Amino acid sequence: MASLQSLSFSSPVSYYHQQQPRTHSGFISSPLHRSASSTFHGQTLHLPHTQRASLKVNGRTSRPVIMMVKPTIQFIQGTDEQTIPDVRLTKSRDGTNGVATFRFEQPSVFDASGDVGDITGFYMIDEEGVLQSVDVNAKFVNGKPAGIEAKYIMRSPREWDRFMRFMERYSNQNGLQFIKK
């Protein structure tokens, strides 16, 4: 079993081939990640192109600006969860399937759920798209919501790879560290 815990993060998991950031009229565009090497199965990952938007400065269209989606978790679509979870990973010996268990203590969705609606599922969103699950359970103490446990099941090595790419982005964004137990 392995887990991700909130600590400073320095990932040896992947190494990106990057272009140097460029500045243009005071704006900085992020490096474009076209491919990445992963130590998971030693395969090269081909990441999709990110969305691009043109920036107009003084009536001229400048070079495209790369728009990246911040990796986030949601229980109600459109409402980001602010609480950082404890994540536990298990994988079968043959590598064909695995389970990620997310535990949230006092999640912010409990504060927002009365205003925006009910919990509809577990959504992990990044630049590649959305991973989702409906295996979500709330924990109550003395009749008050205290936590949420959500499970995401991966049934193939491809689903495992996709989940690990999301978790690497989410970990980098939120300062999680991978600890193998």
| Cβ(124)–Cβ(166) below 8 Å | yes
Q: Is the CATH number of domain 72-174 1.10.10.10?
A: no
Parse the chain into domains and list their residue ranges. Answer: 72-174
**Please, what's the b/e burial string for 40-65 (b: 16 or more CB within 10 A of its CB; e: otherwise)?**
beeeebeeeebeeeeeeeeeeeeeee
Global confidence as pTM: 0.62
| Cα 122 to Cα 104: distance, rounded to the nearest angstrom | 12
**What pLDDT is attached to residue 114?**
65
**What pLDDT is attached to residue 25?**
38
Q: What is the mean pLDDT of each run of 10 residues along the chain (181 residues)?
A: 48 37 39 42 48 56 65 93 94 92 93 74 96 95 92 96 95 87 74
**What pLDDT is attached to residue 136?**
96
3-state secondary structure of 63: strand
| Cα 175 to Cα 53: distance, rounded to the nearest angstrom | 29
**What pLDDT is attached to residue 181?**
74
The helices-and-strands tally (H runs, E runs) of the chain is: 2, 17
